[in-house]
């Protein structure tokens, strides 16, 4: 069947490749009895695909029913789907047929299948595999001939990992999967749908349909529409009823669109003067702003490191001063020294170490005090002590020193330490 005739018959608006592909799958699978799983965000129009499948199938003269699994309380969903016997539970004054009996020979559309309780999932799996079910409160096995089309707006594989959905039921339902793309992935359909909703509203209320100027059309198509077609229809009706003029401008349209920041990034301010990008628009792209932010942070961090290094190097340590007032070199400072590139390393200055120590998980290793050691000599001595302590095991020595094994290997080569 021609796609355009299908769209016209079922009132589908759109020309995007994603939409056309989804419709073509629905048309091809309609003539079979295969189970279909329709996935897509809320508001994309999943139910219309179930109607395409039913009305183009051999079951089209038999009943069709749409059931929202998320809208039925957990305690009554088994009764709704499979029926119950008289006295099966409190309030069951009469026997009742379930949907699987009512739509015998037809199609049942189970929307929001991810909300179905696990117990009901097991019953549904039996129906799909054997065509059998049992009413609540009965022991009699009944047969049904019903085609099942399911839909969900959640990730069923994620629910499977969390133990909320049966894996065997998932594979049984998704014999033929159909994915309905959100509006933000088929932006060429947004204005077409808006015009359709505006015309429908005008005809319903016997008033001229509103129109958007070029800038407003651009704003409409760049908005992400998290509520998809349902949200777009709502906005179209709002504007049709409340717009001051039948030709809506971008500034007026903006008043009806919710503010959104889907990426979670801060709004990009307009930059002037010499902060212009290559296009000369006076605005940086998000990527350029992030790059600039990262480079500035790195520069500030390097400046801070150098300041601390220079400060430590300029402080002479004297035994005459109190022990609390004397800076000392410990393993933490050794680890941080390794963050410097060779061209950033300040010149080592002679310092006096006041009883430096290397700490491990089991005991302390005291490094012999010397009165005039360079920073490089002390670093070499600490590495030798750690290697000796751990009998040449680099991984353990690096962990004790608070540096990476790769850094330790480089230091061993640099200081020509025999292992």
* 290 band by pLDDT with thresholds 50, 70 and 90: low
Give the whole-angstrom CA distance, residue 152 versus residue 351.
69
- CA angle (146 as vertex; 73, 90 as ends), nearest 5: 30
Which CATH code for domain 315-415? 1.10.10.60
Of 259-273, 293-307, 403-417, the poorest mean pLDDT is in: 259-273
Higher per-residue confidence, 125 vs 389: 125
Q: In this structure, how many other beta carbons lie within 10 angstroms of the beta carbon of residue 139?
A: 7
218 near 30, Cβ under 8 Å?
no
Give the whole-angstrom CA distance, residue 224 versus residue 197.
18
The pLDDT value recorded for residue 211 is 94
Mean pLDDT of 364-375: 46
Q: Per DSSP, what are the bridge partners of residue 68? A: 111
Q: Name all contacts of 322-326 with Cβ < 8 Å and 24+ positions apart.
A: 323/354, 326/354
Is 278 a residue whose pLDDT tops 70?
A: no
The pLDDT value recorded for residue 183 is 95
Q: For the chain, what are the domain ranges? A: 3-181, 187-254, 315-415
Mean pLDDT of 335-360: 45
The pLDDT value recorded for residue 340 is 46
Is 170 a residue whose pLDDT tops 90?
A: yes
The pLDDT value recorded for residue 266 is 40
CA 371 from centroid of its chain's CA atoms = 59
Residues 6+ apart with CB under 8 A from 156: 39, 113, 114, 165, 170
Higher per-residue confidence, 290 vs 274: 290
Mean pLDDT of 109-133: 95
The pLDDT value recorded for residue 407 is 84
Residue with structure tokens 């022991």? 139
176-179 and 132-134 beta bridge pairing:
unpaired
* C-alpha gyration radius of the chain: 36
The token pair that represents 379 in the structure block:
């670093």
Is 314 a residue whose pLDDT tops 70?
A: no
Q: In this structure, how many other beta carbons lie within 10 angstroms of the beta carbon of residue 333?
A: 17
Mean pLDDT of 90-102: 88
Domain 3-181 has CATH 3.90.1150.10: no
Higher per-residue confidence, 95 vs 352: 95
- For residue 412, the SS3 value is helix
% residues pLDDT > 90 (the chain):
54
CA atoms within 13 A on the CB side of 189: 22
The pLDDT value recorded for residue 359 is 41
Q: For 321, which DSSP code?
A: S
146 near 100, Cβ under 8 Å?
yes
Of 188-192, 205-209, 324-328, the poorest mean pLDDT is in: 324-328
In this predicted model, what pLDDT tens digit does every residue of 140-155 receive, in sequence order? 999 999 999 999 999 9
The mean pLDDT of the chain is 80
* Ramachandran area for residue 337 (φ above 0: left; ψ -120 to 50: alpha; else beta): alpha
Is 364 a residue whose pLDDT tops 50?
A: no
DSSP letter string, 245-297: SSEE-HHHHHTTSPP--TT-PPPPPP--TT---TT-SS---HHHHHHHHHHHH
Classify domain 187-254 at the CATH class level: mainly alpha
The pLDDT value recorded for residue 148 is 97
The pLDDT value recorded for residue 293 is 66
Write down how long the chain is.
419
Give this prediction's pTM. 0.61
Q: Per DSSP, what are the bridge partners of residue 133? A: 142
Mean pLDDT of 3-28: 94
In this predicted model, what pLDDT tens digit does every residue of 382-395 receive, in sequence order? 888 888 888 888 88
Of 147-151, 179-183, 358-362, the poorest mean pLDDT is in: 358-362
* 315 band by pLDDT with thresholds 50, 70 and 90: low
302 near 340, Cβ under 8 Å?
no
Is 264 a residue whose pLDDT tops 70?
A: no
Mean pLDDT of 169-179: 95
The pLDDT value recorded for residue 357 is 45
Give the whole-angstrom CA distance, residue 76 versus residue 153.
23
The pLDDT value recorded for residue 252 is 92
Is 16 a residue whose pLDDT tops 70?
A: yes
Q: In this structure, how many other beta carbons lie within 10 angstroms of the beta carbon of residue 83?
A: 23
């Amino acid at each position: 069947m021609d796609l355009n005739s299908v769209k016209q018959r079922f009132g589908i608006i759109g020309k995007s490749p994603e939409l056309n592909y989804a419709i073509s799958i629905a048309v091809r699978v309609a003539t079979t009895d295969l189970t279909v799983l329709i996935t897509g965000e809320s508001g994309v129009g999943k139910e219309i695909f179930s109607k395409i499948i039913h009305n183009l199938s051999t079951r089209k003269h038999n009943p069709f029913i749409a059931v929202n699994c998320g809208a039925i309380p957990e305690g009554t969903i088994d009764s709704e789907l499979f029926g119950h016997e008289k006295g099966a539970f409190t309030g069951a004054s009469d026997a009742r047929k379930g949907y699987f009996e009512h739509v015998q020979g037809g199609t049942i559309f189970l929307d929001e299948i991810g909300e179905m309780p696990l117990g009901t999932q097991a019953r549904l799996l039996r129906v799909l595999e054997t065509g059998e079910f049992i009413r609540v409160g009965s022991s009699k096995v009944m047969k049904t001939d019903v085609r099942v089309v399911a839909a969900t707006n959640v990730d069923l594989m994620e629910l499977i990992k969390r133990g909320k959905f049966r894996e065997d039921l998932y594979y049984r339902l998704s014999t033929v999967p159909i994915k309905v793309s959100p509006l933000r992935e088929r932006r060429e359909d947004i204005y077409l749908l808006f015009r359709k909703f505006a015309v429908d509203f005008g005809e319903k209320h016997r008033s001229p349909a509103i129109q958007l100027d070029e800038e407003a059309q651009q704003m409409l198509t760049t908005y992400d529409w998290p509520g998809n077609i349902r949200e777009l229809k709502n906005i179209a009706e709002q504007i049709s009823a409340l717009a001051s003029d039948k030709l809506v401008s971008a500034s007026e349209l903006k008043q009806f669109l919710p503010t959104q920041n889907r990426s979670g990034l801060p709004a990009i301010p307009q930059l002037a003067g010499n902060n212009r990008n290559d296009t000369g628009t006076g605005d940086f792209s998000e990527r350029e702003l992030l790059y600039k932010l990262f480079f500035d942070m790195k520069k500030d961090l390097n400046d801070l490191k150098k300041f601390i290094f220079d400060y430590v190097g300029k402080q002479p340590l004297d035994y005459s001063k109190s022990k609390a007032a004397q800076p000392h070199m410990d393993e933490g400072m050794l680890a941080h020294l390794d963050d410097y590139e060779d061209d950033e390393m300040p010149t080592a200055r002679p310092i006096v170490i006041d009883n430096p120590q290397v700490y491990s998980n089991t005991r302390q290793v005291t490094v012999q005090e010397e009165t005039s050691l360079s920073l490089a000599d002390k670093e070499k001595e600490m590495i030798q002590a750690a290697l000796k302590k751990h009998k040449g095991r680099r991984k353990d020595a690096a962990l004790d020193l608070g540096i990476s094994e790769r850094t330790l290997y480089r230091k061993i080569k640099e200081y020509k330490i025999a292992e």
